[in-house]
Amino acid sequence: MTKEEKSQYIEDLASKLSDTGVFYLTDASGLTVESVNSLREKCYKANIELKVVKNTLLKKALEKIEDKNYEDLYGVLAGPTAIMFSEVGNAPAKLIKDFRKKFPKPLLKGAFIEEAIYTGEENLDFLVSIKSKEELIGDIIALLQSPAKNVVSGLQSGGGKLAGIIKTLSERTEA
């Protein structure tokens, strides 16, 4: 790769990193060609972009982005690194966890999710449990609807009780 090609690659990678709110750094070394192809296929189906990068070029790309601080990720840039780009914060974590039911890797090196940085394999279970933006919106809507449903339900049941009481009273006076 020439110096100009490296420079262009760093620019492109920096642009991609700054445009995305979610990326995971993983170590998939030691996987067979068959298992790597399987991982790529699963990533494609889950709308996750998988890209193998050189650590030095990735670090330069991260340093180029001025509006975000990625310093905590610099320590994990050793050994083979693959980046998983996603639009959903927990999608790569779920994919990694599911993939590791059959294969020993990829290992989680670090993750950047909406301004938060997580480093180390021990964060994988936590990252799986993070709710996506759509799930959080659904939870908020359900919470907002719950009191309104209770009021409507109370009014409906109260109206039925009141009508029953009035009917009972009217029947008593007639008898």
Q: Are residues 125 and 138 in the same domain?
A: no
Q: How many domains does the chain fold into?
A: 2
Contact between 119 and 109 under an 8 Å Cβ cutoff? The reply is: yes
Q: Are residues 117 and 143 in the same domain?
A: no
Question: Of 155 and 19, which is predicted with more confidence?
Answer: 19
Q: Are residues 28 and 84 in the same domain?
A: yes
Distance (Å, whole) CA 155 – CA 141: 22
Domain that holds residue 15: 3-130
Q: What is the pTM of this model?
A: 0.73
Q: Enter the tokens of residue 131.
A: 């709710």
Q: Are residues 125 and 59 in the same domain?
A: yes
* Per-residue pLDDT, 23: 92
Q: Which of 124-128, 133-137, 160-164 has the highest mean pLDDT?
A: 124-128
- For residue 53, the cross-strand partners are 81
Q: Are residues 138 and 104 in the same domain?
A: no
Instruction: Supply the mean pLDDT for the chain.
Output: 84
Q: Are residues 95 and 171 in the same domain?
A: no
Give tens-digit pLDDT for 9-38.
889 998 898 888 889 999 988 888 888 899
Give tens-digit pLDDT for 87-102.
888 889 999 999 989 8
Task: List strands edge to edge, sheet with 107-113.
Answer: 49-53, 81-86, 22-27, 107-113, 116-119
Domain boundary among 112, 130, 148: 130
Q: Are residues 146 and 119 in the same domain?
A: no
Q: Are residues 12 and 93 in the same domain?
A: yes
Q: How far apart are the first and last CA of the chain?
A: 101
